[in-house]
Amino acid sequence: MACLNTLKQEIKTLESVFPKSHEIFQIISASVDELNCRFVSKNGKKYEIHANIT
């Protein structure tokens, strides 16, 4: 259970450092199972990043 609480806290930290309004890297959604992010390049192209947490 301690690991789960640590993971939840780390997700909250990531969401606060990289909010949806961040101009380069954005955490779109996050759960204890999955992380969905977006990287915005200098030319404005957006790259979606989907990661499973195992």
Residue 37: its pLDDT value, please? 98
Neighbouring CB atoms inside 10 A of 5's CB total 9
pLDDT over 90 (residue 2): no
Pinpoint the alpha helices (H) of 1-54.
2-17
Long-range pairs, 5-14, Cβ under 8 A, ≥24: 7/32, 7/53, 8/32, 11/35
Q: What predicted TM-score, i.e. pTM, was given to this entire model?
A: 0.84
pLDDT in tens, 17-47: 999 999 999 999 999 999 999 999 999 999 9
Structurally, the chain folds into a number of domains equal to 1
Residue range of the domain that includes 16: 2-52
Report d(CA 44, CA 16) in Å as an integer.
22
Residue 1: its pLDDT value, please? 73
